[in-house]
Amino acid sequence: MTVINTNGAALRAMAATQRSSHELGEAMARLSTGQRINTAKDDAAGLAISSAMTAQIRGMSQGIRNAMDGVSLVQTADGVLGEVSNMIQRVRELAVQAGSGTYSANDRAALQLEVTALATQIEQTMRNASFNGVALFNNNAPIYDRDNTLVDASITLNIQAGPNVDDTIPVAIPPIATHYIRDDIGYYWSSGYNARLTPPQPYDPSTNNVRSHLVTFDDYMAGGRIAGADIDRADIGRIVYERPGDQWYDPNGATYNSGYSFDDYLKRREFALPDELNVTNRYRTDNTLKRADELLGTVARVRGQLGATGNRLESAVSTLTSGSTNLSEARSRIADTDYSEETVKLARAQILSQASTAMLSQANRSQQDVLKLLGQ
C-alpha cells in the first residue's frame, strides 16, 4: 500500500529517535552528576531509602564532631583539676611543715601567706574554669538550702553523639567543695539562735588555779566569748586563759541565746577554702591536713570519672566512624552511578540515536517514489 499522508516507517523511526534521545540524556545526566537517582522517577523506592540513609550519615558525621568536642571538654576539665591537685599538694606540704614544733608563730604566719594565696587561686581556678562559655565546676558545693537540705550541685552535660534522639552521652562532673558547712550544734527559735554554753566564768586572779582553753570551731559556732567579746575566726585554735566573761561550747551546758539571726548563723557556718586552709596554729594545721586529704581524694575521683567518660566518648567516635563508613557504602550501591554500566548505555544510546536519525531520513526520502507513479 502506497500512501502520502501517513508515513509509517518515518513515524516508527521518529519514535525510535525519541527513545534513544531519552536514554542518551539519562545516561549523560547520570555520568555528569555521579548519581544514579537524579529525580524521583528514576527510582522512587531507592530515593526514599537513600534519603533516609543520608540523614543518618549526616547525623553520624555531626555526632562525631560533637563527641570530639566532648573529649576536648573532658580534657580541659582534667587539665584544670591536674593543676588544682598540684596546688593542694603544695598546701599539704606546707601544712606538714607548719605542724613541726620547731617553727615559731612568725614562721607559721609566713607559711600562711602562701597557703592563703594557693587557696584563693584554687577557688578562682574552679570558679572560672569553662569550655566555650560552659562552666565546668560548681565550686560552691555542698550547697544547703534554708531547710538544711543538701542540694545536688553536679554539672551534667549531654553530648549528642549520634543521629538519633537517644544517642546521648552524659558528662557528669561531681561537685568539688571549696566551701564547707559546719555541723549545726544549736537550734533556732524566733528570738534567735540558741546553743549550749558554759556560764560566764568567774575567777579569782589571786589564786593560781587559772585554767587554759583551746578555742575550737564549736566554740565559734556556738557564739562563745573570750572575756565577753565574740569569738572571731582568727581566734580558732588559740590557747587562751580564763578571764571574766568567758563562755565556751558545752554540749551539756546551759542554753544561751547568741543573738544571731538565722541568716547570720548560716554565714557563720560557711567556711570558704581560705578560711579552712590555715596553718597559723597546730589545731588549724590538723584541720588543714584533713581538708587537703579530702580534696585530693575528691579531685582524684572526679578525674577518674572524667577519664572514663573521655574513653567512652572516644569509643563512640570510633563506632560512629565505622557506622558512617558502612552506611555510606550501602547508600552508594543504591544511589551512585555505576560508570562501567552507564558508559555502555551511553555508547548504545549514541549509536541508536544516529541510526534512528539515518532511518528517519531514509523513510522520508522513500515517499518521493510516489512521484514516479504520477509520471514525474
Q: Cα(197)–Cα(244) distance, rounded to whole angstroms?
A: 15
pLDDT, position 145: 47
Dihedral pair phi/psi, residue 311, rounded to 5°: -65, -40
Residues whose CB falls within 8 Å of the CB of residue 63, separated by 6 or more in sequence, listed in order: 160, 161, 162, 163, 167, 316, 320
**What is the secondary structure of 102-158 as a DSSP string?**
TS-HHHHHHHHHHHHHHHHHHHHHHHH-EETTEE---TT-SEE-TT-PEEP--EEEE
Name residue 4's beta-bridge partners: none
Contact 316, 169 (CB under 8 A): yes
pLDDT digits (tens, 9 = 90+) for 239-290: 988 888 888 888 887 777 777 776 777 677 788 899 999 999 999 999 999 9
pLDDT, position 4: 66
> Exposed, middle or buried, 355 (CB in 10 Å: 0-12/13-18/19+)?
middle
Taking 50 as the pLDDT cut, the residues of the chain under it are 141, 144-150
Which amino acid makes up residue 45?
Answer: A
- 3-class SS of residue 81: helix
